[in-house]
């Protein structure tokens, strides 16, 4: 068994706590950290107050290709790459800091976060396995998530060309209805 110093062990525990607070599943913790499974389960219970969830992780790269998921995945992955390549963060630091920045952006833009930490981690793994790539949009020149062997020329991202039904969710309809109701009340007064 590998002997670690107390400071290295403490750093590993703090990394585990940060990942758990962000919503990491046990499979993510086991893959990224060197703590024992029993110790991570105890830590999870201490931080969250419940046992870790069971079940399979997302496994399809196709999930990231839907319109809204693609925009969010592209935002997160470009942030992750910047932190890793330009800010010289380690993989784990880029993952946690990039995910925090993504959540902060969603809060400030009053948008519901589509990616959870497990989906963000899986996205990075798909890029590492050469299943996904970043493709440049011919309109905005931004880079968005695409399948590895998709076309590369004259491709438009989902932000520049949203589908016709984009933004017509139940939540958007409820907001429109509420605004209409407020306008009718103001008109009656």
23: region left, alpha or beta (phi > 0 left; psi from -120 to 50 alpha) = left
What does the chain look like in DSSP terms, one character per residue? Answer: -----HHHHHHHHHHHHHHHHTT--HHHHHHH--S-HHHHHHHHHHHHSSPPP-SPPP--GGGGGSHHHHHHHHHHHHHHHIIIIIS---HHHHHHHHHHHHHHHHHHTT------HHHHHHHHHHHHTTSEEEEE-TTT--EEEEETTS--SS---TTTS--TTTT-SHHHHHHHHHHHHHHHHHHH-
160 is in an annotated binding site: yes
**Six token digits for residue 62:** 């196709």
89 marked as binding residue: no
Q: Which residue in the block uniquely carries the two structure tokens 């997302």? A: 58
137 known member of a binding site? yes
Give SS3 for 144: strand
Which residues carry a binding-site annotation? 137, 140, 157, 160
Which residues carry a binding-site annotation for Zn(2+)? 137, 140, 157, 160
């Amino acid at each position: 068994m590998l002997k670690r110093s107390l400071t290295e062990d403490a750093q590993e525990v703090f990394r585990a706590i940060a990942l758990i607070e962000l919503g990491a599943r046990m499979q993510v913790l086991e893959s990224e950290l060197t703590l024992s499974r029993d110790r991570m389960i105890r830590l999870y219970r201490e931080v969250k107050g419940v046992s870790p969830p069971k079940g399979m992780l997302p496994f399809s790269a196709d999930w990231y290709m839907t319109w809204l998921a693609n925009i969010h995945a592209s935002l997160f992955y470009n942030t992750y790459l910047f932190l890793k390549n330009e800010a010289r963060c380690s993989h784990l630091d880029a993952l946690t800091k990039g995910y925090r920045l993504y959540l902060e952006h969603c809060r400030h833009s009053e948008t519901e976060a589509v990616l959870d930490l497990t989906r963000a981690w899986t996205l990075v793994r798909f890029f590492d396995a050469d299943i996904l790539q970043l493709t440049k949009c011919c309109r905005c020149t931004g880079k968005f998530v695409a399948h590895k062997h998709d076309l590369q020329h004259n491709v438009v991202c989902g932000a520049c060309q949203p589908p016709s039904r984009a933004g017509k969710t139940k939540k958007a309809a409820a907001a429109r209805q509420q605004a209409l109701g407020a306008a009718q009340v103001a008109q009656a007064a």
